């Protein structure tokens, strides 16, 4: 886990540069949690274990709220770690959450856009006719690609991890 934590420090530093590079197109703000309210949240076993470390560090009141949220979780619904429009385990969040908001190259040189482009948020000023007219980040930032040097285990939807 120590190697993964160091990797995240380096990865977050790289992401900071990417977010700065595209800052004029990104409109994420504190309490803007649309991406946490509608999603599939594919995460690896490695990330789930790390998230649970963050969960363990929470106060009991927050843990109870998360446990209640887990009982109500639906596939494609709100992340159970979202409380009052804030991530309760922010420093322990998975890759998909860390990269959300960026437009980046995906498989076969297609561009992966953040979900919120459909809500007139990120990249809305440079997105038309299902295309983006700026250079995306030239790195595949999907979980499987980002964690390729780790034994990250299976990747499942957060819903599936929490309902087994």
Q: pLDDT tens for residues 10-37?
A: 999 999 999 999 999 998 888 889 889 9
Return the pLDDT at 89: 98
Q: Exposed (0-12), middle (13-18) or buried (19+): which is 79, by Cβ within 10 Å?
A: buried
pLDDT digits (tens, 9 = 90+) for 34-91: 889 988 899 999 999 999 999 999 999 999 999 999 998 888 889 999 999 999 999 9
Look up residue 44 and give its two tokens.
Answer: 């690896």
Query: What are the residues whose beta carbons fall under 8 Å from the beta carbon of 80, sequence distance 6 or more?
Result: 66, 69, 70, 72, 73, 158, 162
pTM (two decimals) = 0.93
Instruction: Give the range of the structural domain holding residue 156, as residue numbers without chain letter.
Output: 2-162
CA angle at 18 for the pair 12 and 80, rounded to the nearest 5°? 55
Q: Nearest 5 degrees, angle CA 84-CA 77-CA 100?
A: 75
Q: How are beta strands 155-157 and 111-112 bridged, if at all?
A: unpaired
Per the CB < 8 A criterion, the answer to whether 77 and 41 are in contact is no
pLDDT at residue 87 in the model: 96
pLDDT at position 164 over 80: no
pLDDT at position 107 is: 86
What's the number of domains the chain is made of?
1
Residue range 129-140: average pLDDT?
Answer: 92
Dihedral angle of Cα 45, 93, 147, 136, to the nearest 10 degrees:
140
Helices and strands in the chain: count of H runs, count of E runs: 7, 8
Give the C-alpha separation, 35 to 86, whole Å: 11
């Amino acid at each position: 886990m120590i190697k993964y934590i160091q990797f995240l420090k380096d990865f977050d530093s790289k992401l900071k540069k990417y977010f700065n590079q595209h800052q004029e197109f990104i409109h994420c703000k504190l309490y803007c949690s649309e991406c946490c309210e509608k999603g599939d949240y594919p995460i690896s076993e490695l990330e789930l274990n790390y998230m649970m470390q963050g969960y363990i560090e929470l106060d009991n009141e927050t843990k109870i709220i998360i446990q209640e949220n887990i009982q109500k979780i639906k596939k494609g619904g709100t992340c159970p770690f979202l409380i009052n429009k804030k991530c309760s385990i922010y420093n322990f969040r998975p890759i998909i959450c860390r990269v959300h908001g960026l437009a980046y190259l995906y498989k076969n040189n297609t561009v992966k856009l953040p979900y919120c482009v459909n809500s007139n948020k990120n990249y809305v000023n440079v997105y038309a006719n299902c295309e983006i007219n700026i250079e995306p980040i030239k790195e595949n930032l999907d979980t499987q690609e980002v964690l390729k040097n780790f034994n990250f285990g299976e990747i499942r939807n957060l819903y599936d991890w929490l309902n087994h």
